[in-house]
Amino acid sequence: MTEIELLDLTAAQRAMWFAENLDDDHSITVAHYLDIVDAGRPFDRELFRRGVIEGARELETAYTRITEVDGVPKQYIDFSASFPVIEIDLRGESDPVAAADEWMRADHQRPVDLRADPVAIGAFIRVADDRTFWYMRGHHIAFDGYGALMCLHEAVARYNCAVSGAERPAPRRASLAEVVADDAAYRESTRFAKDREFWSERAAGLPERVTLATHPALTGIHTDTVVAAGMLDAGLEARVRRCARDLDASVAAILTAAFAAFLVRMSATDDVVLSLPVTARTTARIKHSAGMVSNMLPLRVDGVGAATCADVVAAVTTE
């Protein structure tokens, strides 16, 4: 029998562990779905399933298990454990897409017992003869947003290579053990001390938070949560991209500046601080890995009300 290698949690994972233990009725999970429409070639679910499983085994995180040793959380990889990939057929529903959305939301809100349940599941949800949703949900202690996207990219890349017959280049990626070791090494380094000093100074004297909420936030995900979403029409998307080119900025900077300006317009302040996620992956090997190492950093933009649009974009880009 192979001896289990117990690993520490990364700093980001420890934060998720504490958050998980604050609320027994809610788990912090990451979920996404891919809308797959047959376009000339039927979608081969079994081939995609094989890519999902092979990619998950290589990336390891879907097989993460959490345990406690003398009250301290530890993790290990168990390839004999379950990573469910299920089939759901909703083609007989009156509104298959709405039914799929309801199923995915319910699964996303379902509590996960980290000591007993799989940290991830996948599902093929059929909503039409030529349309399938590929859904995956993972607990945030094992997956950050970047890691979840890496799992999706890995499955799609394997599927595309299998269909086309192309050779799939094997990326040089870090194992979970290497990700944990890198996180520990950083926290013992002089770079960590310098980073802490920098961010302590940067976060000193931040202005009062700006919020559009009319009441305090509640913990957990609730079924009465309102989600407003929409697609940019082609004309507006083209304008955003053209603005980015004209101002020598990224689209992300344009959208962030727009949101900062919106908060200022909707509130009685000129200074805002946005919390933005960063991947926290500093080596090529870790950039090709999954896991949970991401962080949130404050992005401060002052004097927005009196600034021009170009000024706000420049300030966001600099930050």
- Residue 228: its pLDDT value, please? 75
Residue pointed to by tokens 């094989």: 50
- Alpha-carbon span 152 to 196, nearest angstrom: 33
- Residue 211: its pLDDT value, please? 82
Boundaries of every domain in the chain: 11-170, 181-318
> Packing angle between helix 251-265 and helix 234-246, nearest 10 degrees?
100
Cα within 13 Å of Cα(96), Cβ side: 14
- Residue 212: its pLDDT value, please? 83
- The torsion region of residue 213 among left (phi > 0), alpha (psi -120 to 50) and beta comes to beta
**Contact by Cβ (8 Å): 279, 294:** yes
- Residue 222: its pLDDT value, please? 53
The correct answer on CATH 3.30.559.10 for the domain covering 11-170 is yes
> For residue 137, what are the β-bridge partners?
31, 121
Task: Kindly state the helix (H) or strand (E) to which residue 74 belongs, with its residue range.
Answer: strand 72-77
The model's pLDDT over 58-116, given as tens digits with 9 standing for 90+, comes to: 999 999 999 999 989 999 999 998 899 999 999 999 999 999 999 999 999 999 999 89
Report phi then psi at 33, rounded to 5. -140, 150
CATH placement of domain 181-318: 3.30.559.30
- pTM higher than 0.75: yes
- Alpha-carbon span 79 to 261, nearest angstrom: 48
The model's pLDDT over 37-48, given as tens digits with 9 standing for 90+, comes to: 998 789 999 999
Topology agreement, domain 11-170 and domain 181-318: yes
**Which parts of the chain sit beneath pLDDT 50?**
1
- Residue 1: its pLDDT value, please? 44
**Contact by Cβ (8 Å): 141, 119:** yes
